[in-house]
């Protein structure tokens, strides 16, 4: 018997309800995919919203299980070699953060490579915890330290890290103004935010200051700002349509799907089919994972 297709809204509702069988149907009514692709290359060039930044569809996250200036790859002693291997395999976006402790490893891995050939995004931790209190501050000071740590004259993207307060644009206006000033001086190309609550996400959607956002997205609602993805998808669409760059994170549910190949493939296909997520971030821990995810993305077929 031929299986009936579900609409995307039916799909995300079904998945959120815990149904076992997954079907991929049409996109949500009203969403126009941003890409005219039926297949994907992880190394294809994408534009990050209206920022003018061009990089690869697949980027490397350096902060899997990251906090207090360490992550899985720094603790395992493989950060520098893994970042270098990702570059050699064609990945051109590297997602760093002060709280991951990966700045010096990234600088060492990319030493001798022309700066314009890769894209660096990093994040400032300005709320409680994350990094030592005496090393927090305003962008003018903190970004100067970042430049030394990464041995770079400029950053493609700097974001405020892990915003949870729904009033963050007002609460941290001094930081927003500082990053805006650095953009005017061409020390950074774009600024934005990563969010970890639904309220902070909604604030980012409405903020004209946000150039680029990191948003947690997968079809299962794992480690997301709302359990039901249908609550998140329209907000991503609104950001995309307004010209904000959208970076998808937690596509594998912060590693929760890592031992379930079918879930990994379903999540990658679902996010790519949305057509509103510009860049996919995966936190690789081993070289073979780079090849594996590149292959999975190339195997995605959109009907």
Q: Which helix (H) or strand (E) holds 236?
A: helix 229-241
Chain-centroid distance of CA 10 in Å reads: 26
pLDDT > 70? residue 7: no
How deeply is 10 buried, as exposed, middle or buried, from its count of CB atoms within 10 A (0-12, 13-18, 19+)? middle
What integer pLDDT is reported at residue 65 of this predicted model?
67
Q: Which helix (H) or strand (E) holds 212?
A: strand 212-216
pLDDT > 80? residue 106: yes
pLDDT > 60? residue 127: yes
Place of tokens 């990966």: 102
Q: Which residue has the higher pLDDT, 293 or 255?
A: 293
Q: How confident is the model at residue 226 (pLDDT cuts 50, 70, 90)?
A: very high
pLDDT > 70? residue 99: yes
Q: Per residue in 157-169, pLDDT tens?
A: 999 999 999 999 9
* Lowest-pLDDT range of 25-34, 46-55, 177-186, 228-237: 25-34
Place of tokens 């969010």: 195
What integer pLDDT is reported at residue 37 of this predicted model?
66
Neighbouring C-alpha atoms within 13 Å toward the C-beta of 257: 21
Q: How confident is the model at residue 20 (pLDDT cuts 50, 70, 90)?
A: very low
Mean pLDDT of 45-74: 90
pLDDT > 80? residue 271: yes
Concatenating the DSSP letter of every residue in 52-92 gives: --EEESEEEES-TT-BTTB-HHHHTT-HHHHHHHHHHTT--
What integer pLDDT is reported at residue 277 of this predicted model?
98
pLDDT > 70? residue 35: no
* Lowest-pLDDT range of 131-135, 250-254, 269-273: 131-135
Q: How confident is the model at residue 15 (pLDDT cuts 50, 70, 90)?
A: very low
pLDDT-above-90 percentage for the chain: 79
Report the alpha-carbon distance of residue 7 to residue 64 in Å, rounded: 33
Sign, Cα dihedral of 73, 79, 81, 86: positive
What integer pLDDT is reported at residue 31 of this predicted model?
34
Domains in the chain, start-ordered, CATH in brackets? 42-299 (3.20.20.100)
Q: How confident is the model at residue 71 (pLDDT cuts 50, 70, 90)?
A: confident
């Amino acid at each position: 018997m031929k299986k009936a297709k579900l609409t995307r809204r039916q799909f995300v509702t079904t998945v959120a309800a815990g149904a076992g069988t997954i079907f991929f149907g049409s996109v949500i009514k009203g969403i126009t995919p941003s890409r005219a692709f039926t297949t994907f290359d992880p190394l294809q060039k994408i534009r990050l919203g209206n920022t003018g930044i061009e990089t690869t569809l697949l980027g490397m996250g350096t902060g899997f299980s990251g906090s207090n200036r360490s992550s899985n790859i720094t603790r395992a002693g493989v950060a520098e070699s893994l970042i270098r291997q990702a570059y050699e395999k064609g990945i051109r976006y590297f997602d760093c953060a002060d709280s991951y402790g990966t700045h010096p490893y990234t600088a060492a891995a990319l030493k001798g490579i022309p700066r314009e050939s890769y894209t660096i995004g990093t994040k400032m931790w300005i709320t409680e915890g994350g990094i030592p209190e005496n090393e927090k501050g305003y962008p003018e000071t903190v970004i100067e330290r970042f430049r030394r740590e990464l041995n770079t004259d400029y950053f493609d993207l700097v974001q405020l890290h892990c915003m949870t307060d729904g009033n963050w644009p007002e609460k941290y206006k001094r930081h927003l103004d500082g990053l805006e000033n650095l953009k005017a001086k061409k020390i950074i190309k774009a600024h934005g935010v990563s969010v970890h609550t639904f309220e902070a996400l909604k604030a980012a959607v409405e903020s004209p200051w946000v150039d680029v956002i990191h948003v947690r997205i997968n079809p299962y609602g794992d480690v997301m700002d709302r359990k039901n993805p249908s609550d998140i998808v329209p907000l991503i669409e609104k950001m995309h349509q307004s010209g904000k760059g959208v970076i998808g994170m937690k596509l594998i549910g912060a590693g929760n799907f890592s031992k379930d190949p079918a879930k990994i493939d379903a999540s990658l296909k679902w996010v790519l089919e949305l057509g509103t997520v510009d860049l996919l971030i995966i936190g690789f821990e081993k070289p073979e994972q780079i090849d594996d995810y590149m292959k999975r993305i190339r195997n995605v077929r959109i009907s």
